[in-house]
Chains A and B, each alone.
Chain A
Amino acid sequence: AQKITQTQPGMFVQEKEAVTLDCTYDTSDQSYGLFWYKQPSSGEMIFLIYQGSYDEQNATEGRYSLNFQKARKSANLVISASQLGDSAMYFCAMREMKTSYDKVIFGPGTSLSVIP
């Protein structure tokens, strides 16, 4: 079963506008972590933001914020004031930690294009 779902294969946003990238996850655990990574065309993976399952406040890092709705199992990334350099693939990931394993699973990604 798909653990991480990103339903938007591709998105377009006008420069300086805000955009929301969707991510839903599936876990039966109470303790887990959610991450967002950016992969520009150059190929490197860049960490953007982290949300713990017990964190009561939504995480924010500069222009990035994570809209965490635990009951809905969603962890959407919001990018404010989009810039041309934001054009990239964006991956949502979840870390499940149990005594028997510790895995980080990625979603299929969303390609974001910022239009001047």
Chain B
Amino acid sequence: NAGVTQTPKFQVLKTGQSMTLQCAQDMNHEYMSWYRQDPGMGLRLIHYSVGAGITDQGEVPNGYNVSRSTTEDFPLRLLSAAPSQTSVYFCASSYGLGEETQYFGPGTRLLVL
């Protein structure tokens, strides 16, 4: 199993550009989520999905879109990048509810100029 994979590892964008951060898992997990990590603020939930076709907003969804067309993939789209979106982005997945811990991807470092 590759676990949770994220691409790219690093990205530099100009203000106003759009891009998609890719996340994939091969563990047949139903639950997937996106977090951003900023210094001193921990991980903040952007969007999450409890299964294919089902997504919902987290704490900081503005400026981001998600979709879940398959169980394996959960891409995060930045519609018009802003410097405030400079952050490290983590994708995570878990089998289901309850005590299932989340498995994290290695993260994507994004710099918006």
Contacts and interface: CB of A to CB of B under 8 A. Distances in A.
B83 interface: no
B66 to A, nearest CB: 14
Contact of B43 (A91, A95, A101): A91
B41 A108 contact: yes
B20 to A, nearest CB: 21
Contacts of A104: 33, 45, 48, 92, 102
A106 B40 contact: no
Contact of B102 (A47, A52, A108, A109): A47
A44 interface: yes
B90 interface: yes
B107 interface: yes
A33 B35 CA distance: 18
Nearest to A45: B104
A81 interface: no
A91 B42 contact: yes
B74 interface: no
A29 interface: no
Categorize the interface residue count of chain A.
Answer: 20 to 34
29 contacts: A6-B42, A33-B98, A35-B102, A43-B88, A43-B106, A43-B107, A44-B104, A44-B107, A45-B90, A45-B92, A45-B104, A52-B98, A91-B42, A91-B43, A93-B43, A95-B97, A95-B98, A102-B48, A103-B45, A103-B48, A104-B33, A104-B48, A106-B35, A106-B42, A106-B44, A106-B45, A107-B42, A108-B41, A108-B42
Which 9 pairs, one residue from A and one from B, show the smallest C-beta to C-beta distance?
Answer: A45-B104, A106-B43, A108-B42, A47-B101, A106-B42, A109-B42, A50-B99, A97-B97, A102-B50
Interface of B: 31, 33, 35, 40-45, 48, 50, 56, 58-59, 88, 90, 92, 97-99, 101-104, 106-107
